[in-house]
Structure 1
């Protein structure tokens, strides 16, 4: 399965699709990118006159690239329209702000995948290669 096929199987659409490209993917992890469009609605109020990407959105980007894309890859062609995907836990530390129009890179390493549960160590880097947040995210994929 190529990276375009993986992205097409994501259960999200604009404006809640936070994956632009997958740079690399294998059974142990994934690297992908997303650029935050300055016109996204949440920038209008977070924060007034000084827009910053909310932490919950940064977590979602890491989950979509680092867990869901990897899970789709690991399950290969078993994913279908009835597949259920749910976040089960996350522990993220936020280190730097991410601003409108910034491109970020998510790097995810599989900790384990068993009984439909995928847990990954994830980190997000900005264009300067600085770590902006990191931690662990786990989710369940039920076919």
Structure 2
């Protein structure tokens, strides 16, 4: 493990109930892998859906974005900044994510232009792909 949840909170500004990455397991200059442990006691499941818990796809995308933000904001030149969504492309969802699942969140930054960072993202549960796509983000103060 590279970062635990307390260390992640030192890097990105998100807090409960919207901190959606629990630990970082791998990180290099362009790629990062995080983990989100999905539990039934999360506020999301009070309304989505109370009788059949399913993690919303937008929260899976947010978890991927937060994982990518950890990589960008852990770089010395970006410390103290905030990562903002700039776009989501070709996002596809392959299966539902439910309490008890452990999401593996992989983000690979592929390019940057005019202050916008492009990343291929993939979420898996037990080695099976649950979501893939591309996210774009920008950094601000």
TM-score bracket, normalised by the shorter chain, equals 0.7 to 0.9
The 1-side partners of 2:82 and 2:65 are apart by 15
Instruction: Provide Cα deviations, 1:92-142, integer angstroms capped at 9, x if missing partner.
Output: 11110000121110111111134432210000000x210000100110012
Normalising by structure 2, what TM-score?
A: 0.87
* Structure 2 segments unaligned to the other structure (5+ residues): none
The 2-side partners of 1:48 and 1:130 are apart by 25
1:129 maps to: 127
1:108 maps to: 107
Deviating above 4 A after TM superposition, structure 1's stretches of 4 or more consecutive aligned residues are: none
Structure 2 counterparts to residues 71-90 of structure 1, below 5 A = 71-73=72-74, 75-76=75-76, 78-80=78-80, 83-90=81-88
Query: Is the CA contact 1:30–1:108 (under 8 Å) kept in the aligned structure 2?
Result: yes
The 2-side partners of 1:71 and 1:78 are apart by 7
The 1-side partners of 2:82 and 2:50 are apart by 36
1:119 to 2:118 alignment: yes
Normalising by structure 1, what TM-score?
A: 0.86
Shift in CA distance, 78/139, structure 1 to aligned 2, threshold 3 Å: closer
The 1-side partners of 2:25 and 2:69 are apart by 15
Task: Report deviation, 1:88.
Answer: 0.4
Task: Report deviation, 1:15.
Answer: 1.1
The 2-side partners of 1:17 and 1:138 are apart by 19
1:58 to 2:56 alignment: no
Query: Is the CA contact 2:107–2:121 (under 8 Å) kept in the aligned structure 1?
Result: yes
Give me the CA root mean square deviation.
Answer: 1.8
Aligned length: 137
Question: 1:3 is paired with a residue of what secondary structure?
Answer: coil
Shift in CA distance, 94/136, structure 1 to aligned 2, threshold 3 Å: same
